[in-house]
Amino acid sequence: MPMKQIYFAGLLFSQAEKEFNLDLTHKLESLGFKVFLPQRDGVEKNKTFYSKMPKEKRRKLMFELDLEKIKESDVFLFILDGRVPDEGACFELGIAYQQKINQKKKRLIIGLQTDIRAAFLDAKLNPMIRCCFDYLAENEKDLIDFLRVA
Bridge partners of residue 63, in order along the sequence: none
Query: pLDDT by residue (tens digit) across 65-116?
Result: 999 999 999 999 999 998 889 999 999 999 999 999 887 768 899 999 998 8
Spell out the domains of the chain, with CATH numbers in brackets.
Answer: 5-149 (3.40.50.450)
Tens of pLDDT, residue by residue over 62-75, are: 999 999 999 999 99
The pTM of the full predicted model, rounded to 2 decimals, is: 0.91
25/81 Cα distance (integer angstroms): 16
Q: What is the pLDDT of residues 24-49, one digit of tens each?
A: 999 999 999 999 999 999 887 566 77
- The phi, psi pair for 91, rounded to 5°, reads -60, -45
